[in-house]
Amino acid sequence: MKNISKANLYLSIGLEFEDVWLDKFANQNKNMKIVDISKNISKGNDPHIWVSPNNIKIIAQNILDTLIEIEQS
């Protein structure tokens, strides 16, 4: 939590267990941007979306888009 209080950005993978923590992180650091990098990914039955090469491409693009947006603001 100490590191979260200093972070500018938290990249969420969109898993259910994160829901409890994301609220705590947001309360710990009101200035930190929380971004779900699993957007545009069909989750289906397997929550391990990062093991699919196609999903990794989408995740990488989501991270890139987020970093560009932060850099431009």
Task: Give the residue among 35, 34, 43 at the shortest CA–CA distance from 15.
Answer: 43
* Reported pTM: 0.84
Q: Is the pLDDT of residue 73 over 90?
A: no
Q: Read off the pLDDT of residues 25-68 as tens digits, 9 standing for 90 and up.
A: 999 999 999 999 999 998 888 889 999 999 999 999 999 999 99
Task: Say whether domain 4-72 belongs to CATH 3.40.50.1980.
Answer: yes
Q: Read off the pLDDT of residues 3-15 as tens digits, 9 standing for 90 and up.
A: 888 999 999 998 8
Q: Which amino acid is at 6?
A: K
Question: CA 58 from chain center: how many Å?
Answer: 12
